[in-house]
Amino acid sequence: MKRKRILEVIPLALVGFGMVMICSSTLFFVVKGRSFTPYLFKVFIHVFLGVSVFYLVSRMKLSFIERISPLVLGFSILLLVLVVVAGKEVNAAKRWLAVPGSGFTFQPSEFAKLSLILYLARYLSRKSGEMRKPRNLLFPLGIIFLVSGLILLEPNYSVSVLTLCLGLLMLYLGGANPLHILMVVVLFVPLGLIHEHVRERIQVFINGNVPQVRNSIVALGSGGIFGVGLGRGKEKLLFIPCPHTDFIFSVVGEELGFMGTFGLMVVFLLYFINSMRASMDASLLFSKYAGCGLSLMIFLHFLFHAGVVTGILPPTGIPLPFISYGGSALMVNLGGAGILQSLSRGKG
């Protein structure tokens, strides 16, 4: 199969698989006496919008995307400020903005990751060969810290850290001195630990006192090689919180077994390898940097999510790309996949 075909088929296949797993995961609503029909309706809306974004973006010229990237980033920063000031509060966190009259909400932090990657790709392409100079790091670092800091104020620690990681990785790919990047990391970690909530989560994780992670591992183990069967998992019913979002990988493990989770890992790895190769083969520097950044965004989301449900990382609330319930994340990931598809077609 040709690379451009792989980069089209895999995201759409994962979205279809995600719809099946969300339907299976939301059975816990029935157990709790709630209807899961509204969720399924929203899933179809999310998928329709996400796939529309995928095909729309895949037909855009990358030169056009490069030109509008500063405007997109500026708009994303404005939305992040708006979230902090007037966002919808859920569980003591303001992460969502409501769409008036629709009943829908969205997370600007998801769009901010994508816009940051595109803007940094533009900056790095224009500073090619000059990124080892410390003065050329100041401006992009300021943008990265501004976006990560606004997300941290929501507060959304996991997305803030992930955004910071993506930004620093892009600077490294752009030729920045690794020592300078390491110095930034050393400075940032103590700042993150200032927040009591972060310290508590790390301490709980180190002590092994995380019930949802223990139950997630039980679900993975009970699936065996081939799983208990689609829709027949028990851990999702009462023991795993948010099985349709933050822990959907464990539902896959219980119901489809090791073969299901291993197959999913292979698919994500195959997508990552092909998207990175397509990026490196691109003729334009912007395309190279944007493609690498978007490939890393999708793959790091997968690694973070899988790391949480297997107990390797503390609970972070990172959704599984293309599969977990959530319209903002789905549209951003499909938007990123659309850009990678455009890149593989050579649409400069």
171 within 8 A of 140, measured Cβ to Cβ: yes
Instruction: Report how many domains make up the chain.
Output: 1
The pLDDT of residue 208: 64
The pLDDT of residue 91: 66
| pLDDT exceeds cutoff 70 at 25 | yes
| pLDDT exceeds cutoff 80 at 189 | no
% residues pLDDT > 90 (the chain) = 60
The pLDDT of residue 259: 97
pLDDT tens digits along 35-80: 667 778 889 999 999 999 999 999 999 999 999 999 999 999 999 9
pLDDT tens digits along 250-283: 999 999 999 999 999 999 999 999 999 999 999 8
The pLDDT of residue 36: 67
187 within 8 A of 174, measured Cβ to Cβ: no
**Cα–Cα distance between 219 and 239 in angstroms, integer?**
9
Residue 293 buriedness (CB in 10 A; 0-12 / 13-18 / 19+):
buried
**Mean pLDDT along residues 126-140:** 91
pLDDT tens digits along 276-335: 999 999 989 999 999 999 999 999 999 999 999 998 888 878 999 999 999 999 999 999
Domain residues for 255? 3-344
Higher pLDDT, 213 or 46: 46
Give the sheet arrangement for strand 93-98, strand by strand. 88-90, 93-98, 105-106
The pLDDT of residue 195: 63
- Phi and psi for 317 in degrees, rounded to 5? 75, 30
